[in-house]
Amino acid sequence: MQEPVLVLNANFEPINICNTRRAIGLILAGKAAMVVNGRGNIRAISQVFPRPSVIRLEDMVKRPRPRVKLTRREIFRRDNYTCQYCGRRDVNLTLDHVMPRHMGGEHIWTNVVAACPPCNHRKGGRLPDEANMRLLHIPKEPPANASYIFGRHLNQYGEWEPYINGW
């Protein structure tokens, strides 16, 4: 009952992921309809319910465009878990402010990169040019499209692919 279910708006735009229990509740309340059942059935005492993988809301939900939150995990994901100074892939990464905070640098997408501890220590509280270091990629805010937001689930749930990559 805790498996994720992709929730589509009335126009088939992906808007959320909920668990199976919530999805069945929405279907039974008439607020959503099942689009894909790729997981079999759930048996109750007197009924059998299909286990949804993708549901679609009956009414259109208006909401602002999503933005990717600036978190440690999202910065590492944007930078593909790679140090932006030496290119080494590592699980023990740190965050580095390209323009250090004490020099007026802000904690925003375009100023924060993933760095391995040796590179972060080498750069210290200086600008990359002062430390004689170069960035592999210019940092920017990742796109807030469906393929970026929900794309990490495509490995496990291939039936979601037409709904996520269509947007």
Same domain, residue pair 28 and 49: yes
For the chain, 167 residues long, give each residue's pLDDT as a single digit of tens.
Answer: 788 999 999 999 999 899 999 999 999 999 999 998 877 788 888 888 888 999 999 999 998 888 889 999 999 999 999 999 999 998 899 999 999 999 999 999 999 999 999 999 999 999 999 999 999 999 999 988 887 877 777 777 878 888 887 66
Q: Computed from CA positions of residues 91, 97, 100, 102, in that sequence, does the dihedral angle turn out positive or negative?
A: negative
**Residue at 136 is within a domain:** no
In a domain, 128, yes or no: no
Token duo for residue 117: 């501890």
Residue 144 tokens read as 């807030």
Q: What is the structure's pLDDT at 79?
A: 95
Domain that holds residue 52: 4-64+144-165
Burial (CB count within 10 angstroms: exposed 0-12, middle 13-18, buried 19+), residue 67? exposed
Of 84, 128, 80, 82, nearest in space to 105 by CA: 128
Regarding whether 93 and 56 lie in a shared domain, the answer is: no
One domain for residues 26 and 45: yes
Question: Is 81 part of a structural domain of the chain?
Answer: yes
Domain match, 48 and 76 both: no
Q: What is the pLDDT of residue 128?
A: 95
Cβ count within 10 A of residue 122: 15
Query: Are 9 and 50 in the same domain?
Result: yes
Question: Which pLDDT value is given to residue 119?
Answer: 96
Residue 84 is predicted with a pLDDT of: 97
Q: What is the pTM of this model?
A: 0.72
Judge if 42 and 24 occupy the same domain: yes
| Residue 115 sits in the same domain as residue 83 | yes
Strands 14-19 and 4-8: antiparallel
Whether residue 104 sits in one domain with residue 79? yes
Residue (of 78, 76, 123, 118) closest to 97 by Cα position: 123
- Structural domain includes residue 91: yes
Task: Give a yes or no: residue 100 inside a domain.
Answer: yes
**Do 115 and 149 share a structural domain?**
no
With respect to residue 130, please indicate whether it lies within any of the assigned structural domains: no
Which CATH number covers residue 95?
1.10.30.50
56 and 85 belong to one structural domain? no
Asked if 88 and 116 count as a contact pair (C-beta separation under 8 A), the reply is yes
| Within-domain flag for 133 | no
The maximal CA–CA distance of the chain, rounded, in angstroms, is 72
- Assign 3-state DSSP to the chain and report helix, strand, coil percentages, each to 5: 25, 20, 50
Domains in the chain: how many in total? 2
Mark whether 57 and 85 lie in a shared domain: no
